[in-house]
Amino acid sequence: MIIMYTLYSNQSINWKAKGTERILQNVSNLLNTFMYEVAYDRIMGRNTDYIDKPMSEQIPLVISETYELIEEYEPRVTVQRVSVLTDNEDPIIKVVVDID
């Protein structure tokens, strides 16, 4: 039986996460990390070049980038779906994953 987990980019961080929860926390961290923020891996994270683009251009880029980031930096999960919720002032990335 495959268990699906839904994560959002606006989730709070659980600094005491362990096991499955820690893997999911890693995915959540990827959703909120920008390039050049991580000293030991400067290219890990979201590209900031398209932040000011119109949402119609930005959303497909964010979705594609999210698949790539998670595949590269958290290979223990498989991304099932990525969407961007734009009802709020700031877009929220929604990711559905399962753990391999």
CATH number at residue 56: 3.10.450
- In terms of pLDDT, which residue wins out, 79 or 86? 79
* pTM (2 d.p.): 0.90
pLDDT value for 60: 95
86 touches 59 (CB < 8 A): yes
pLDDT at 5 over 90: yes
DSSP state for residue 46 in the 8-state scheme: B
pLDDT value for 50: 85
CA dist., res. 27 & res. 44, Å (int): 12
93 touches 84 (CB < 8 A): yes
- Give φ, ψ of 32 to 5 degrees: -115, 10
Q: Helix (H, G, I), strand (E, B), or coil: what is residue 73? A: helix
Q: Which residues form the domain of 44?
A: 4-99
Q: State pLDDT tens for residues 25-60.
A: 999 999 999 999 988 988 899 999 988 888 899 999
Number of separate domains in the chain = 1
